A and B are shown apart, each in its own frame.
Chain A
Amino acid sequence: MDFQELIAKKVVALKPSGIRKFFDLLETMEDAISLGVGEPDFATPWHIRDAGIYSLEKGFTKYTPNAGMMALREEISRYMRRRFNLSYDPAGQIIVTVGGSEGIDLSLRMLLEPGDEVIIPTPSFVCYGPLTVMAGGTPVYVETRAEDDFKLTPELLKSALTEKTKVLVLPYPCNPTGGVMERADLEAVGEILKDTRVAVISDEIYAELSYGLHHVSPANIPALYDRTIVVNGFSKAYAMTGWRMGYLCGPRAAIAQMVKIHQFGIMSAPTTSQYAAIEAMRAGDRDIEAMRAEYDRRRRFLVHGLRDAGLDCYEPHGAFYVFPSIRSTGLSSEEFCERFLLSQRVAVIPGSAFGPGGEGFVRMCYAAGMENLKEALARLETFLKELA
């Protein structure tokens, strides 16, 4: 029997990431610098790790309620109020998930029926399209542009809306562009959606990593609150990627249905991680502030360095990536990354990996130590001279 024949066609059709080969190559190199991985270089703050350890020592190793521990949901509710002025009832409007990724998956599976269209602004994180397909929907990609600060403009949104549109994904602050949507931008979205039957999935995993501007959620816009599911988590803000802790806040009807899916597929999010997450929300505001300040310095340093080196670079307002244009080199983004890696042993990600509109750019993650960033910039200058 050929097992391959048994596999669902839509799974086989999912494209594996095109950037794998770079990283296999990177592994074989000495003295290589990777600005490819989008996760904090910090370890989780010690008091948060300690809370996880303590819960293990106490033997708190059982399942939790499906929606997550009430103590944690209460902390999330307080946090959403404190940080973003949003009101969610811990008893029916919040569910704790296995990372923000499960949150996105749950939201799409709860909403989509065959034929439903999901509007996805790109360049953006790679999961929305494949998860839409797995949930039976059809992704509709909308190309945002550097000259619009990588925002989803009203014109772009209108051009993508159809009778079949079920979901609008808003991935802001945006990986990889660093673009954000400000209040006025979101109000315009609200104006367009107010007479439609379209839900918003707002991926706000980078909300705490906003620089200069305070993050505004679509849920802050009255016309959008009732149709928005906010996806957030602990990975980026608290440097907790490996704990797999995320959460969803949204309308009661949506949360109730998602708890069902989560219950059958996952049971409950990891218990140890939930104890650590409670500590993070109770006493972690200062950690966020310190890490944000550090990312902000690196962000400015890198943007300055890239512009000095002669690359056009949009100034990112959120997340921890810069997304310079490499069009001036005449290379495609994939060629650029491959040659940069081979010649200078620095790994960055081709913009084309992030969907339509990404070609001509590369993503560099500055959640890497300052020494690495300095060295990467020096090598970039050498590389650009080589090309010239």
Chain B
Amino acid sequence: MDNTELLKLLERDCRATPDQLAAMLGRDAAEVRDEIRTLEKENVILGYNAMIDWDRTGEELVTALIEVRVTPQRGDGFDHIAERIYQFEEVESLYLMSGAYDFVVLITGRTLKEVASFVSARLSTIDGVTGTATHFILKKYKEKGVAFESAPVQEERMKYV
């Protein structure tokens, strides 16, 4: 059974219950429940997160996007270096890129200093890393298809048609 539809629905709202998902998909609830369990086991579904705009909370957080250039290692190419980078708890996301640099690392820290020291003390010192460029994120507008500002609502609308 193609489970793309199910996954898309979960990706958008993981709080939807198997009953609700089954109704939307026109499928059997027990079957959907089993399928979710299987997808979790197979690591297709890795977790269920809330999307939070931390700027609206009292929490002060700094997010940076760091370009990393490396010398690939014989035998395991980029994977070994990647593993050494993503093991750090601070690392939120890590992607191998085509183009002028090799990796993009997304990290979140409490202060600018914390992020800077991660780059200089941890990231740059990894064997094979030849250079980094750190870009601090100033404002988030949209993430995973969700805009951080909700669209304004048109006030005067026809009430019934």
Contacts and interface: CB of A to CB of B under 8 A. Distances in A.
Interface in A1-20: 17, 19-20
Which of A26, A38, A39, A304 is the most central at the interface, judged by chain B CB atoms within 10 Å of its CB? A304
Contacts of B151: 43
A37 B161 contact: yes
A36 interface: yes
Contact of B25 (A34, A36, A297): A297
Contacts of B25: 297, 300
A23 interface: yes
A356 B158 CA distance: 24
Contact size class for A? 20 to 34
Contact of A370 (B13, B154, B159): B13
Given A297-B9, A370-B13, A17 B23 contact: no
A19 B26 CA distance: 33
Interface in B24-41: 24-26
A41 to B, nearest CB: 11
A297 B161 contact: no
B160 interface: yes
Contacts of A22: 160
Contacts of A17: 160
B73 interface: no
Contact of A36 (B13, B24, B154, B160): B160
B3 to A, nearest CB: 15
B157 interface: yes
Given A43-B151, A370-B13, A23 B160 contact: yes
A301 B16 CA distance: 11
Given A300-B23, A300-B24, A305-B23, A39 B158 contact: yes
B20 interface: yes
Nearest to B160: A36
A298 B20 CA distance: 10
A194 interface: no
Contacts of A297: 9, 24-25
Interface string B1-26: 00000000100010010001001111
Contacts of A304: 23
Interface in B135-161: 151, 154, 157-161
B161 A39 contact: yes
A38 B13 CA distance: 25
Contacts of A349: 160
A23 B159 CA distance: 7
A374 interface: yes
B11 to A, nearest CB: 14
Contacts of A19: 160
Contacts of A23: 159-160
15 contacts: A17-B160, A20-B159, A22-B160, A23-B160, A26-B159, A34-B159, A37-B157, A37-B158, A38-B160, A242-B154, A297-B9, A298-B24, A300-B25, A301-B24, A349-B160
Given A37-B160, A39-B158, A43-B151, 17 more contacts: A17-B160, A19-B160, A20-B160, A22-B160, A23-B159, A27-B159, A34-B159, A36-B159, A37-B158, A38-B160, A297-B25, A298-B24, A300-B23, A300-B25, A300-B26, A301-B20, A304-B23
